Chains A and B, each alone.
Chain A
Amino acid sequence: MSASQPLLQVEDLHIALSTDAGSFPAVEGVSFEIARGETVGLVGESGCGKSITALSIMGLLKPPLGLAGGRIRLTGQEIQNLPAAELRSLRGKRIAMIFQEPMTALNPLKPVGRQIAEMFVLHQGASWREAEQKAVEALTQVKVPAPGRRAKDYPHQLSGGMRQRVMIAIALACEPDLLIADEPTTALDVTVQAEIVDLMKELCAARGTAILMISHDLGLVTDICRRVCVMYAGRIVEQQDSEQIFNHPQHPYTQGLVASLPRLGMRAQHGRRKLMEIAGVVPGITAYPGGCRFNPRCSRATEICVKVVPELEALGDGSLVRCHHHG
């Protein structure tokens, strides 16, 4: 294993949705890499395929969704065809995941300390006594006040932010190489959001854990991630460093996203204006347009956009864009 080898390589990933009416591409040709300790964001609207991309990395796609092609490598080893038992031992131990709903992500019948402890028992073969001690340590690390007492609390006794901290403690318990965070802060209010994001950043940096952050919140993702992939209708349309993406978005969709973000002080500067929006709606999965999938909503669309699928084009500085008329 060379030092430069990426932690996770997703190569030409295809996910198909099979229905009675036929098979539809839910994700098409998605490729990206995550280096050790790197933070990468995956941004897109609901239904663009970002969450199922994450699930396919965990090997948890369920019918009617299925892997239709491509390779997923974890430190060089292909994991998309591993037997169920081996895949299970990867989950939680090398790849962990946290969800957007901290309210339901914990078992209501068990004290949270025990739920953390279970990870040590399951993946490290620790004894319960030992594991419960480690669980209190884990709670301390996620900055839960009075961790010894909180460990005995049931999930309903904790606030949303506290529960998400517990989830982070569970996810990071076995020091995984990769943490997939699927909209981890969506259900929390803004101040708590910031705390949770900072906590994730801090803990992952200390452990060298890479993060794949999935969100629809471009601002949040650029704050935490070094690199951002923008997805639209099952394809990655743009990949850039996060400093770049705000200032020089290349794809018309990304430009629309950036322009539609409300900014503080905008009204004072420019007067009362309508918030920018991208015209139209995301096409349904059964009715994706030919050529570039963004063409019906794009102001720059020409004939070629309807006929030819644009390739991901490298722009020299490491950024990639999928558009015939980028810039």
Chain B
Amino acid sequence: MKLRANLAIGGGLTLLSLFVGVFGPWLAHTDPIMDANLMNAELPPSGEFWFGTDQQGRDIFSRVMYGAQISLTVGIGSQLINTAIGTTLGVTAGYWGGWWDDFVNGLTNLMLAIPSLIFALAIMAILGPGLTSLMIALGLTNWSYTCRISRAQALAIKSQGYVQAARVLGYGDMRIMFTQILPNTLGPIIVIATLGMGGSILAEAALSFLGLGVRPPSPSWGSMLSDARETITTAPWLSLFPGLAIFLTVLGLNLLGDGLRDVLDPQSRSRR
């Protein structure tokens, strides 16, 4: 039962945010950038402005709908890069060992030692602001956890009988890594990736706030949240709705990751 609830709620929320991400422009009833009207500034939620308006009188509902696109693109895109780098390095390091393992370990420690946001800042400074460079910057800086975990998994799985059996039966290294080790490490990696997506959405907010992410006035949940800081006591709806959007998306992704892990494991699948 628990398993289905995870999947249903997580899948539902994720689908909802994906739907908003894709169809946001049609759902919004005003232009998120151009429809500024200082006469309407900081209006509370009402029939006309469902989520209220911000300091410049722009409709928050429309901005949240548009913002989904940017936030989801950054979250998913950077996590794909993270996971690709992390699992490649981690699985090969754990499987091959030797100097390569030492090298990857050193690199991971280095990455963990540098605050990732500072590192992302440096990359953004080189690449310049924008959505693509934001994804690359966040994708290059947060793979160390994935790497650590997939390395540990690979180390553990390497000594399992079926990997040795595969070697004895004439499998090559690549085939062993792809067919034996990678599928068996996938559970925790999916969970880490979905958790990391939330982190990326928040990091995007931080970078946007520093002026290196999405340039205002383009709406993203993160930049809306950071704009709303000053008015959190006087007009809480400014931070409530983008915050809620981030919260529900991250929650949905986490539940989905959890549910997926259960489904991907044949043992728990047959217990159902």
**Measuring CB to CB, which residues of chain A are less than 8 angstroms from any residue of chain B?**
58, 60, 85, 88-93, 96-97, 99, 101, 103-110, 118-119, 122-123, 154, 156-157, 167, 170-171
Contacts and interface: CB of A to CB of B under 8 A. Distances in A.
Nearest to B186: A109
11 contacts: A58-B168, A88-B172, A91-B170, A92-B168, A99-B168, A104-B161, A107-B180, A109-B266, A110-B183, A122-B171, A157-B270
Interface string B135-168: 0000000000000000000000000111011111
Contact of A108 (B171, B179, B267): B267
Given A91-B170, A107-B183, A119-B169, 13 more contacts: A58-B168, A60-B168, A88-B171, A89-B170, A90-B170, A96-B168, A96-B169, A97-B169, A103-B161, A104-B160, A105-B164, A167-B165, A170-B165
Contacts, number: 74
Contact of A107 (B162, B168, B172): B162
A123 B267 contact: no
Contacts of B164: 99, 105
B184 interface: yes
Given A106-B162, A109-B184, A109-B266, A118 B179 contact: yes
Contact of B270 (A107, A118, A122, A154): A154
Contacts of B168: 58, 60, 91-92, 96-97, 99
B169 to A, nearest CB: 4
B162 A105 contact: yes
Interface of B: 160-162, 164-172, 175, 179-180, 183-184, 264-267, 270
A266 to B, nearest CB: 37
B270 A91 contact: no
Given A109-B184, A109-B266, A156-B266, A91 B165 contact: no
Nearest to A89: B170
B156 to A, nearest CB: 12
Nearest to B161: A104
Nearest to A94: B170
Contacts of A104: 160-162
A126 to B, nearest CB: 15
A109 B170 contact: no
Contacts of B267: 108, 154, 156
Given A106-B162, A107-B162, A167-B165, A123 B170 contact: yes
B183 A109 contact: yes
Given A90-B170, A92-B169, A92-B170, A105 B266 contact: no
B95 to A, nearest CB: 13
Contacts of A123: 170
Contacts of A99: 161, 164-165, 168
A108 B184 contact: yes
Contacts of A108: 162, 184, 266-267
A107 B169 contact: no
Contacts of B265: 109
Contacts of A96: 168-169
A247 B169 CA distance: 38
A170 B164 CA distance: 14
